[in-house]
Amino acid sequence: MHELSIAESLLRIIVDESKKHGLERISKIKLQIGKFTAVIPDSLNFCFEMVSEGTVAAGARIEIETVGVTAKCDKCDSSFEVEDRVFLCPRCGEPALELLSGRELSILSIEGETGEEDDGNSSSCCS
């Protein structure tokens, strides 16, 4: 259940970013999570719901973009997708020592409402 620690860290960053950008309510959080992390999306959702209660992010929807596992072969330099946890190069059979992707655990963006009236000032819009 380390998803609880991850949810707490996530909330801290979101509260911090909300203040920075003047957001009063967060509606959506986009995350990027690698397939080679030990994170279960449902558990993370559940834990986040729990820790965000009564905060600016209460009720926010978490959207997860998953990233596949890729590795690079030391011998022939080719990159390949790791299937079934076998880190052997499909071209030359050598073990790949470098993991290129799969361990991501990042926030990509947050979406929410500012307290200001919509007066056409677009300085805060980044999408």
Partner 1 sequence: MTEIQVPVVRNILQANERLAAENRRRFDEAGIFVVNLMSSPGAGKTSLLEKTIEALTGRMGIAVIEGDLQSSYDAERIRKKGVQAVQINTDGGCHLDGNMIQIALESLDLSKVDLLIIENVGNLVCPAEFNLGEHEKIMILSIAEGDDKPIKYPLMFQICSVVLVNKIDLLPYTDCDLGKIRERVRQLNARGKIMEISCRTGEGFAPWLSWVEEKVGEHRKLRAGKHQ
Q: Which is nearer to partner 1, 20 or 54 (CB)?
A: 20
Instruction: Work out the burial of residue 82: count CB atoms within 10 Å of its CB; fewer than 13 is exposed, 13-18 middle, 19 or more buried.
Output: buried
What is the rounded distance in angstroms from the CA atom of residue 49 to the CA atom of residue 55? 10
Reduced to 3 states (helix: H, G, I; strand: E, B; else coil), residue 47 is helix
Q: Which stretch binds partner 1 (CB under 8 A): 23-31, 51-59, 60-68?
A: 23-31
Q: Which stretch binds partner 1 (CB under 8 A): 49-57, 60-68, 108-116?
A: 108-116
Asked whether position 110 contacts partner 1 by CB under 8 A, the answer is yes
Q: Which stretch binds partner 1 (CB under 8 A): 50-58, 59-67, 92-100?
A: 92-100
Asked whether position 83 contacts partner 1 by CB under 8 A, the answer is no
Which of 66, 73, 41 is CA-nearest to residue 82?
Answer: 73
Q: Residue 13: what are its φ and ψ, rounded to 5°?
A: -65, -40
Q: Are 17 and 52 in contact (CB under 8 A)?
A: no
- Where do contacts with partner 1 occur on this chain (CB under 8 A)? 1-2, 5-6, 9-10, 12-13, 17, 21, 23, 27-28, 31, 36-39, 85-88, 95-97, 99, 105-118, 124-127
